[in-house]
Amino acid sequence: MSDIAERVKKIVVEHLGVEEGKVTDTASFIDDLGADSLDTVELVMAFEEEFGIEIPDDAAEKILTVKDAIDFISSKQG
Amino acid sequence: MFDLTGKTALVTGASGGIGAAIARTLHQAGATVALSGTKVEALEALAAELGDRAVVVPANLSDPEAVEALAKDAEAKLGHVDILVNNAGLTRDGLILRMKDEDWASVIDVNLTAAFRLSRALVKGMMKRRWGRIIGITSIVGVTGNPGQVNYAASKAGMIGMTKALAAEVASRNITANCVAPGFIATAMTDVLPDAQKEKLTAGVPAGRLGTPDEIASAVLYLASTEAGYVTGQTLHVNGGMAMI
């Protein structure tokens, strides 16, 4: 697992208070991990802080799964 | 009770009668306050009077960029903002038949849109820290209406609706959003009225007198306190019984 994936999953586990095993690549924040819409906004804020990037609103709307987040951040840090 | 030691507050319209009273009261309760407004000299005089724990952050709220800059300025000077008091407001009265578009727009811009922009900018930090208070100073007129004030009444009613929606969005993050709705309050504006007119104003008030800025500030202090943590989406009317709603 890449460093980015590891850090993303750690944030998700901490923020949503879910078991690590549930945070798979394909897990949807809302459907699988019990996030509400405010949680997803906060996750994006936490990603921005952790990785020192800015995630514009139109991109944030498309980050629905753990993999979406990893891919977006990887593309920014490429 | 109502100890704000260690908390920070941004008060807009702090050079006015009610705004200055709010700033003094929050400061007295222990908060560090940022005073905003357009009259820089008056703000600096108030900051000097308060002494420690007071900074000046001037801004013209009719300018969208200035509103965003104010949020950043306040966060930079205070470290973060725990309590936002959207108090700034102006009137451009006139009967609807004579009201110009710009009179409508300027009142909505400053009284409502600036409050929205400031709330949007500052709620983010409150969410991160899991504590926040957003307090709007609305008006009895926003609930009862008043001839000659379609713009002002709309802006104040808008603030009440906005506050309810905002309260619902962020309640789970330990952030409350409430309004205080003053009735007739004695300020520099009402001081100059002739006695006959003052009597007319108070005739409809069961308490038989005008309210004081300090009585508005006390309501704000309550809503800003930790003790009021379970009160959200509400409008606290401070009007001497003038309208019981």
Residue B32's nearest CA partner among B79, B69, B68 is B79
- Judged by a CB distance cut-off of 8 A, whether residue B223 touches chain A is no
* Number of domains present in the structure of chain A: 1
Confidence of residue B201 (pLDDT cuts 50, 70, 90): confident
Q: Is B108 annotated as a binding residue?
A: no
Over the stretch B61-77, which tens digit does the pLDDT of each residue have?
A: 999 999 999 999 999 99
A-interface mutation test, from B123, B127, B166, most A Cβ less than 10 A away: B127
Cα of B173 to nearest chain A Cα, Å? 9
d(CA B127, CA B32): 20
User: Residue A78 above 70 pLDDT?
Assistant: no
Q: Is B77 annotated as a binding residue?
A: no
Helix (H) or strand (E) holding B176: strand B175-182
Confidence of residue B200 (pLDDT cuts 50, 70, 90): confident
Q: What's the domain range around A38? A: 1-77
Over the stretch B132-172, which tens digit does the pLDDT of each residue have?
A: 999 999 999 999 999 999 999 999 999 999 999 999 999 99
For residues B194, B200, B201, B203, the Cα torsion angle rounded to the nearest 10 degrees is 140
Q: Is B74 annotated as a binding residue?
A: no
Whichever domain contains A29, its CATH number is 1.10.1200.10
Residue B135's nearest CA partner among B245, B231, B220, B74 is B220
d(CA A62, CA A35): 15
Residue of chain B minimizing CA distance to A37 = B169
CATH homologous superfamily of B8-236 equals: NAD(P)-binding Rossmann-like Domain (3.40.50.720)
Q: Is the dihedral of CA B22, B27, B28, B30 positive or negative?
A: positive
Decide if A38 and B169 are in contact by the 8 Å CB cutoff. yes
Cα of A77 to nearest chain B Cα, Å? 24
Confidence of residue B196 (pLDDT cuts 50, 70, 90): confident
CB contact at 8 A, B39 and B15: yes
CB contact at 8 A, B58 and B36: yes
- Judged by a CB distance cut-off of 8 A, whether residue B124 touches chain A is yes
Confidence of residue A25 (pLDDT cuts 50, 70, 90): very high
Neighbours of A55 (CB within 10 A): 20
The answer to whether residue A58 is catalytic is: no
d(CA B223, CA B239): 17
User: Considering only CB atoms, which chain B residues are within 8 Å of A42?
Assistant: 127-128
The gap between the terminal CA atoms of chain A, to the nearest Å, is 16
Q: Is B185 annotated as a binding residue?
A: yes
The confidence score (pLDDT) of residue A1 equals: 57
- Judged by a CB distance cut-off of 8 A, whether residue A42 touches chain B is yes
Angle (deg, nearest 10), helices B17-28 and B213-224: 50
